[in-house]
Amino acid sequence: MSVFSWKELKKPFFTLAPMEDVTDSSFRRVVIKAGRPDVFFTEFTSTDGIFSKGKERVIHRFKHEQNEQPLIAQIWGTNPDNFFKTAELIKELGFSGIDINMGCPVADIIRRGGCSGLINTPALASEVIIATQKGAGGLPVSVKTRIGFNEKNIEGWISHVLSHQLDALTVHFRTVKEQSKVPAHWEDSPRVVTLKDEISPRTVIIGNGDILSKTQAESYFTKYGIDGYMIGRGIFHNPWFFAKNDQEKRSIREKFELMQYHVTLHQETWGTFRNYHALKRFFKIYINGFDGAAEMRELLMETDNHQEFFDVMKIPTFQQYLTD
């Protein structure tokens, strides 16, 4: 496998955001089938959890197939020593890079000082980055963060993170307090680019927030000059987001077949290890936009396991869309 480099990606490039209980190995392979991004991320994984008695409850987030590369392992925590050891493990497991989560706004994690909680402890954030870079053994190290905690702090916080000469920096253009309740502040992105040019020209900048089409991202590339675009909620609007013909209208049959492929992969990959009910959040992606869609979704929402899903898919209401 060739060595991955953020700098060598053709601009603008696209990444699928790390999302808990969403971007596992099975869903990443669904996205590959529909049209792959330039880079994947794992779900965010606790460095403290990996080096605890509960290791088996978190290490599965690193499960992947070779065709998912380039795949970046995203990690979070508060103990620099565990970041160092996790970085060594990530390199051993064959990932293309390491990303440190300093942006997740989940209150319980913030209370523990992790993820976006590190914005309030810049000295600890530095220790975490340095430890990860030391343990990475040459793998690219990046950070995903926001533009501030309670209020914007681009000059202070973003400059601080860039001072560590990261390979890449993903900026969600909202504060932690704003979560996703206001439009992303893309108007602030030129300042981030300027700071990058002044402090760490080698760092690739990735923008995140409210990107719902490749056309929109390409217009932002022209307007703001951000190198890459991370897609989160956009994939729920369109599983074919990263395809060359991303705006093409998909037939009901295509959507149903992709949904069945998704559930099949989930069953083959996880069996009963991971919660089947987490799959239900995806059904609206595949079953929408036609008469009777809500009723069909409701039938699937009542299922409790993979086999019940496939049994429902055999009834005439569904089969009419799956047979010629």
Blockwise average pLDDT, block size 10, the chain, 324 residues: 88 96 96 97 96 91 96 98 98 97 94 96 98 97 98 97 98 95 95 97 97 93 95 94 91 95 97 93 93 94 97 92 76
- Whether residue 115 contacts residue 101, with contact meaning beta carbons closer than 8 Å, is answered with yes
Could you identify the residue written with the tokens 């190198």?
227
Q: Among candidates 194, 137, 138, 198, which has minimal Cα distance to 171? A: 194
Active site residue 104: yes
According to the model, what pLDDT value does residue 324 have?
56
According to the model, what pLDDT value does residue 52 have?
92
According to the model, what pLDDT value does residue 301 have?
97
Q: Whole-angstrom Cα distance, residue 297 to residue 34?
A: 21
- Predicted TM-score (pTM) of this structure: 0.95
- Whether residue 145 contacts residue 116, with contact meaning beta carbons closer than 8 Å, is answered with yes
User: Which residue is catalytic, options 104, 136, 206, 235?
Assistant: 104
According to the model, what pLDDT value does residue 54 have?
86
Number of neighbouring beta carbons within 10 Å of residue 130: 15
Strand partners, 172: 146, 208
According to the model, what pLDDT value does residue 30 have?
97
According to the model, what pLDDT value does residue 227 have?
96
Which residues have a Cβ under 8 Å from the Cβ of 172 and sit 6 or more positions away?
A: 103, 144, 145, 146, 147, 184, 208, 209
According to the model, what pLDDT value does residue 2 have?
65
